[in-house]
Amino acid sequence: MQNLKGKRIVVGITGGIAAYKTIEFIRLLRKSEADVRVVLTAAAAEFVTALTLQAISGNPVSQSLLDPQAELAMGHIELAKWADAIVIAPASADFIARLRVGMANDLLSTICLATASPIYLAPAMNQQMYRQTATQENLQALVRRSVHLIGPNSGFQACGDVGAGRMSEPAEIYDALCQDLSVLQDLAHLKVAITAGPTREAIDPVRYISNHSSGKMGFAIAEAFAMRGAEVTLISGPVNLATPNNVKRIDVVSAQEMWQVTLKTAVQNHIFIGCAAVADYRVAEIADQKIKKASDEMQIKLVKNPDIIADVGHLRENRPFTVGFAAETQNVEAYAKDKLNRKNLDIICANNVAGGQVFGADQNALQLFWQTGSASLPQNSKTELAKQLVNKIVEKYNEKQ
């Protein structure tokens, strides 16, 4: 029995016959000395009773969003802040759909919307409902928002069908939760700085030069480090992404701003990762007023921007373990290795962006190079790829120490 002693777990139960299994899951949590609060939806109350769940969890069961007694003690905001993790088992197709669009029309959905803690879903539904495009799109959207899925399993269902959609067994849900929570703090001794997203180089007050970087990879890396307890500073160009939980974010716009913030920040960290797509050049003279369309041609003089990752890599004092990214359209390995040496990096992460298939996408693949070796991280979601990359970075960082 892995130990979750002292962990504060909100267990949400939605409507479905699999709700009876959740009683055993709560028993496992309590046996591991976790503190459990149960939130029961109206539909779930048709399958399991609040009295049973109160007896198993050792705490009152929360059911109503508008319960005045709950608001005085452990209301939806209090529960959302209190939880180390929220586990919804079973997670019905209806609840998954409501969570995807951000509804807050009952206590459980409101807690999920108000929390900064990780959310785990154990889907349970008829196999045809699970296979529906709408359900799969909802699940994929939630995964992109860093909601964790546990299962479902395949097999015989209460309705008589056979297929995917059975809720994972209580022990499987428990083990998955233990695996995640047990590593949350293993990197608490590390300070990590990461750059992400594009930069914008102004032409005049309304125009700028930029690139297609979405920032998703850098944000995923920041989240992966933060989930394991590292102190993370994320230096971000202009992106439309939410800040990962437990990450300090510094917003910048231009390459020069990112360079200034990075050099000040990098020396205060153990690891620096330059994932941003920094503009190589900026406009020499930014117009004070909007440039009017006067002719068929316009010439803009560009000057070179600072090479942020190279400047960090060549720091003489307090140099962090330095990881760079190389987005290439050809000769990926040769160009990456050249940058590794020329910029004095510990690791370089190369990806092939020919055709623009990486920028803005939710998946990626990386080739890693360091002085004595290399590794390939195959195509995967950027969230999962970031976790694999963090493992490799920490491995090489520890070797160097």
Which pLDDT score, from 0 to 100, does residue 73 have?
Answer: 46
Q: What is the pLDDT of residue 181?
A: 76
| Band of pLDDT at residue 183, cut at 50, 70 and 90 | low
Residues annotated as catalytic are: 159
pLDDT at 363 over 80: no
Written out in words, the top-level CATH class of the domain with range 191-400 is: alpha beta
What are the Cα distances from residue 74, in Å, to 6, 11, 29, 40, 106?
A: 18, 14, 20, 14, 15
For the segment 326-341, the average pLDDT, to the nearest whole number, is 86
Per-residue confidence (pLDDT) for residue 332, from 0 to 100: 83
Q: Is 276 annotated as a binding residue?
A: yes
- Of 118, 107, 89, whose CA–CA distance to 12 is shortest? 89
Q: Is 225 annotated as a binding residue?
A: no
- Token pair of 74 as six digits: 């452990």
User: Confidence band (pLDDT; 50, 70, 90) for 360?
Assistant: low
Give pTM, 2 decimals.
0.65
Choose between 296 and 88: higher pLDDT.
Answer: 88
Average confidence (pLDDT) over 315-339: 90
Q: Where exactly does CATH 3.40.50.10300 map onto the chain?
A: 191-400
The neighbour count for residue 293, using CB atoms within 10 Å, is: 7
Question: 35-44, 159-168, 224-233, 275-284: lowest mean pLDDT where?
Answer: 159-168
Residue spans in the chain of domains classed CATH 3.40.50.1950: 8-181
Q: What phi and psi values does residue 15 have, to the nearest 5 degrees?
A: -70, 125
Main-chain dihedrals φ then ψ at residue 330, nearest 5 degrees: -160, 160
Angstrom distance (rounded) from CA 14 to CA 95:
7
| CATH of region 8-181, choose from 3.40.50.2020, 3.10.20.30, 3.30.70.270, 3.40.50.1950 | 3.40.50.1950
Q: Output the pLDDT for position 81.
A: 85
Average pLDDT (173-190) is 82
Residue 72's pLDDT band (cuts 50, 70, 90): very low
- Please check whether residue 271 is in contact with residue 323, taking contact to mean a CB–CB distance below 8 angstroms: yes
pLDDT at 353 over 80: no
Mean pLDDT score, 97-115: 93
Highest-scoring range by mean pLDDT, 182-196, 270-284, 289-303: 270-284
pLDDT band at 68 (very low <50, low <70, confident <90, very high): low
309 is in an annotated binding site: yes
Name the residue among 85, 259, 114, 49 with its Cα closest to residue 177.
Answer: 85
Consult the annotation and say whether 280 binds a ligand.
Answer: yes
172 by Cβ neighbours in 10 Å (0-12 / 13-18 / 19+) ranks as middle
The whole-chain average pLDDT of the chain stands at 89
What confidence score (pLDDT) does residue 161 get? 74
Question: Per the annotation, does 343 bind a ligand?
Answer: yes
Percent of the chain with pLDDT over 70: 93
73-87, 111-125, 204-218, 286-300: range with lowest mean pLDDT: 73-87
- Summarize the confidence of residues 316-339 as an average pLDDT: 89
> Is 96 flagged in the annotation as binding?
no
198: β partners: 277
Confidence band, pLDDT 50/70/90 cuts, at residue 50 = very high
